[in-house]
Structures are given as C-alpha cells and as structure tokens.
C-alpha cells in the first residue's frame, strides 16, 4: 500500500513538473502572447539567422554550442559554417561576441546580457513584446524608449525593419489630476517590413531564444513520458504483489 501511494504521488508530481515548466517567469498582464512554436524547425532556423545577423554583435550565448544547434535544427556543419558562424569559430564552441566588455559598458552604460537563458528568466512573451515595443522618444540618447523595458539602454536595432513607432497617449481627468496613458502605437517612419512580416521576424527570433534557453526541453518531455510508463508499470506490479501477500489474510 505504501509503495502504491509513493508511486502515485511521484506520478502526480511528475505530471505537475512536466506541465508547469513552460512559464517560469511571471508575465505582465498586458503582454501580447508570442505564439512561438518550439517544434517548428523552419521557424527556429530563421530565428537563428535573425539572431546571428541582428543580435549576436552585442549578445553572446555562452552556454550554447554550435554543434547542438546544428543537430537540433537539422543543419549540416557546412550549413552552419556558411550561414551562421561568422566569427570563424569551431562547431564545438559557443556563441561568443567580439565586443570587449569595457567597450560595451562605455557605449551602452550597461553590459548587453548573455542571452543563453534570457527567455527563461524573462519569458518568451516578454521578449516578443520587448522587440515590438520601441517608440520614438527624443529625450533618450538612443532616440527611442520601450514600452516593456522603460528607458532601456538597448537601441532599436530592428528599426530598419519595423520602422519607428510613435506613441499615442490618452489624457483623462482623474480626481482633479490629468493622467497621461500610453494607449497604442502608430508607425511614424516606415521600415522595410510590414507589421505582419515584422511580427513573424520577431516571433522566429523569440522562438530561437526560447530554444537556446532550454535546448533539451523536447528531449526531457520525451523522457518524462517513459518515466511515467515505468511508474505505471510498478504501480500495477505493486498492486499484484499486495493482492498476493494479503490473499490469505482476512
Ligand atoms: C547594439 C547592441 C545590441 C544589439 C545589436 C542587441 N542588443 Fe539586446 N541589449 C543591448 C543592451 C545594451 C541591453 C541592456 C539593456 C538594458 O538593461 O537597458 C540589451 C538587453 C536585451 C534584453 C534584456 C532586456 C531585459 O529585460 O533586461 C533582451 C531580451 C535583448 N537585449 C534581446 C536582443 C535581441 C533579440 C536582439 C536582436 C534582435 C538584440 N538584443 C540586439 C544591446 C544590444
């Protein structure tokens, strides 16, 4: 009986752990869902390309090996080297940047964080909205501000694609005070992409960041299923054993 309870408890805990790992970070209520699909290899490949072209100049991903990316994203070494690896790295190396920390600090005031685990600490919805949340703000040195990370030091590196948005405010009276509230955006300077294409671009990039934050996620899910089957097997065995042992005791 004790055996049975323990296995049942373990099974319940496991199901909980498997179901609950997707969103570790607390997300803000007004974040638009990222809609990423971790199983979509094409999206991950596009995301990897986007990341290498637009982000890797400042952000490293020191916990991610090229080899792993190649295997998971179904890219040959040749494809990796020709299309993604710009810094003459070896495939067993991780994604590093050429920028020196002191320079970065001087240019941005803060160090661009390593993004290996950023999707886990911030959540994918956060990143998706962060990359969509830039708007013109002449009071900032970068010329832009961000709806999600107020006063961010990161410039709008995707401004050429998305264009530059102007914030729309609504003012209303509340208890004798004028409250100014950001209600939306409109494109002030068009970029090379329309809204839909840009959303797709950002979604793929976010998908890639979510993938590198947990490259073994799909593997772990699969393993979880086997563990559950294993537990179930012992549950049945324990029941049979219990019946056998107690059959003469009335
Ligand atoms: C020109 C350098 C530069 C480039 C290129 C760049 N970033 Fe950043 N990024 C920064 C800096 C600096 C910060 C720190 C911002 C801060 O703390 O205000 C940052 C912070 C971030 C953060 C963390 C935000 C937070 O909540 O702390 C994320 C996520 C991020 N960048 C994603 C990206 C992605 C995705 C790309 C490519 C599309 C990219 N960055 C390209 C400089 C850059």
**pLDDT tens for each residue of 27-37:** 455 899 999 99
* Cα angle for residues 215, 34, 207 (degrees, 5° grid): 25
Distance from the CA of 9 to the center of ligand 1, in angstroms? Answer: 42
- Residue 223 has what pLDDT? 79
- Residue 216 has what pLDDT? 67
- Residue 22 has what pLDDT? 43
- Residue 20 has what pLDDT? 45
Distance from the CA of 103 to the center of ligand 1, in angstroms? Answer: 15
- Residue 195 has what pLDDT? 96
Tell me what the mean pLDDT of segment 160-180 comes to.
Answer: 91
Are 125 and 27 contacting, i.e. CB atoms less than 8 angstroms apart?
yes
Tell me what the mean pLDDT of segment 235-242 comes to.
Answer: 94
**Beta carbon of 154 within 6 Å of any ligand 1 atom:** yes
Are 111 and 103 contacting, i.e. CB atoms less than 8 angstroms apart?
no
- Residue 89 has what pLDDT? 72
- Residue 67 has what pLDDT? 87
Which tens digit of pLDDT belongs to each residue from 92-102? 888 888 788 78
Distance (Å, whole) CA 47 – CA 50? 5
* Cα angle for residues 185, 163, 186 (degrees, 5° grid): 20
Cα-to-chain-centroid distance, residue 51: 12
**Closest atom of ligand 1 to CA, residue 118:** 29
- Residue 174 has what pLDDT? 86
**Beta carbon of 123 within 6 Å of any ligand 1 atom:** no
**Beta carbon of 157 within 6 Å of any ligand 1 atom:** yes
Are 157 and 54 contacting, i.e. CB atoms less than 8 angstroms apart?
yes
Mutation test residue for ligand 1: of 112, 117, 133, 209, the one with most atoms within 8 Å of CB: 112
In this structure, which residue's CA is closest to atom 28 in ligand 1? 127
Q: How far is CA 14 from CA 5, 21, 161, 231, in A?
A: 14, 11, 43, 10
Q: In terms of residues, how long is the chain?
A: 250
In the predicted model, is pLDDT for residue 11 greater than 70? no
Q: What confidence category does residue 143 fall into, taking pLDDT thresholds of 50, 70 and 90? A: very high
**Closest atom of ligand 1 to CA, residue 148:** 26
Distance from the CA of 87 to the center of ligand 1, in angstroms? Answer: 20
**Beta carbon of 195 within 6 Å of any ligand 1 atom:** no
In this structure, which residue's CA is closest to atom 24 in ligand 1? 149
């Amino acid at each position: 009986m004790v055996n049975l309870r323990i296995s049942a408890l373990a099974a319940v805990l496991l199901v909980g752990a498997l179901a609950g790992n997707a969103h570790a970070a607390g997300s803000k209520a007004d974040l638009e869902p990222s809609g990423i699909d971790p199983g979509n290899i094409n999206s991950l490949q596009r995301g990897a390309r986007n990341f290498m072209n637009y982000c890797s100049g400042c952000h490293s991903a020191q916990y991610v090996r090229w080899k792993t990316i190649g295997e998971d994203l179904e890219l040959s070494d040749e494809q990796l080297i020709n299309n993604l690896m710009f810094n003459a790295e070896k495939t067993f190396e991780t994604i590093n940047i050429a920028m020196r920390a002191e320079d970065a600090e001087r240019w941005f005031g803060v160090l661009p964080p390593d993004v290996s685990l950023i999707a886990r600490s911030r959540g994918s919805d956060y990143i998706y909205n962060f990359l969509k949340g830039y708007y013109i703000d002449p009071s900032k040195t970068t010329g832009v501000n961000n709806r999600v990370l107020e006063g961010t030091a990161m410039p709008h590196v995707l401004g050429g694609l998305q264009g530059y948005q102007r914030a729309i405010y609504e003012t209303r009276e509340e208890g004798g005070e004028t409250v100014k509230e950001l209600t939306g955006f409109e494109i002030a300077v068009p970029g090379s992409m329309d809204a839909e294409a840009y959303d797709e671009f950002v979604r793929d990039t976010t998908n890639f960041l979510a993938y590198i934050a947990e490259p073994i996620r799909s593997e772990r899910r699969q393993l979880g299923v086997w563990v559950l089957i294993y537990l179930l097997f012992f549950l049945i065995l324990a029941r049979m054993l219990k019946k056998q042992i107690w059959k003469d005791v009335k």
